[in-house]
């Protein structure tokens, strides 16, 4: 059996009933074998990145998993599919977007997975909710705490619901 790992994920939605989708996602993850939801941030309304589209509802969750990063990614994609995620346009509108941000202090780069998430340090919509639940987590590439990283981004477009 694999040792338990600490993980951080980002959740986002801007199509359909986003709050219901995000709450349902947390519930679904908590019922998934090998995953324990340890904490969930508040939900935040954020301006979209990319093409014109509705605002997003974003948040983050801390998970304890008995899975490899690839197994967790597979399960996250499975949950996205249950909530009818369609991948049509990069950075386009979506019913659900789940991103694996951090996995212990692992640095991993494969063709389908990069940990830490490659753009998380630039994104207030990730760092604000993550700092709420994991301010002292050290991002392994920058060696900076999440609470410090969030101070370096523009958080003006983010509103707690």
Write the pLDDT tens digit of every residue in 132-145. Answer: 999 999 999 999 99
**55 assigned to active site:** no
**99 assigned to active site:** yes
In degrees, rounded to 5, the angle at the alpha carbon of residue 124 between the alpha carbons of residues 81 and 75 is: 20
Q: Which of 4, 17, 87, 94 is catalytic?
A: 94
- Whether residue 87 is predicted with pLDDT greater than 60 in this model: the reply is no
Q: What are the sequence ranges of the domains in the chain?
A: 5-160
Mean model confidence pLDDT for the chain? 92
**85 assigned to active site:** yes
In Å, what is the CA distance from 132 to each residue of 4, 69, 135?
22, 23, 6
Q: 5-160 has which CATH code?
A: 3.30.70.560
What is the per-residue pLDDT for 84? 74
Task: Determine the length of the chain.
Answer: 161
What is the per-residue pLDDT for 94? 80
**pTM strictly above 0.85:** yes
- Find out whether 130 and 101 touch, Cβ atoms under 8 Å: yes
């Amino acid at each position: 059996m694999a040792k338990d790992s600490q993980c951080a994920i980002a959740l986002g939605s801007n199509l359909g009933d986003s709050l219901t989708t995000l709450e349902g996602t947390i519930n679904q993850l908590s019922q998934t074998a090998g995953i324990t939801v340890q904490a969930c941030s508040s939900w935040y309304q954020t301006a979209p990145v990319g093409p014109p589209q509705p605002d997003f509802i974003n948040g983050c969750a801390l998970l304890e998993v008995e899975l490899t990063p690839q197994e967790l990614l597979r399960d996250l994609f499975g949950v996205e599919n249950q909530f009818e995620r369609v991948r049509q346009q990069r950075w386009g509108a979506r019913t659900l977007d789940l991103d694996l941000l951090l996995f212990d202090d692992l640095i991993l780069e494969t063709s389908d997975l990069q940990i830490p998430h490659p753009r998380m340090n630039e994104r207030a919509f990730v760092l604000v909710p993550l700092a709420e639940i994991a301010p002292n987590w050290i991002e392994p590439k920058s060696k900076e705490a999440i609470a410090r990283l969030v101070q370096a981004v523009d958080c003006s477009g983010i509103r707690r619901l």
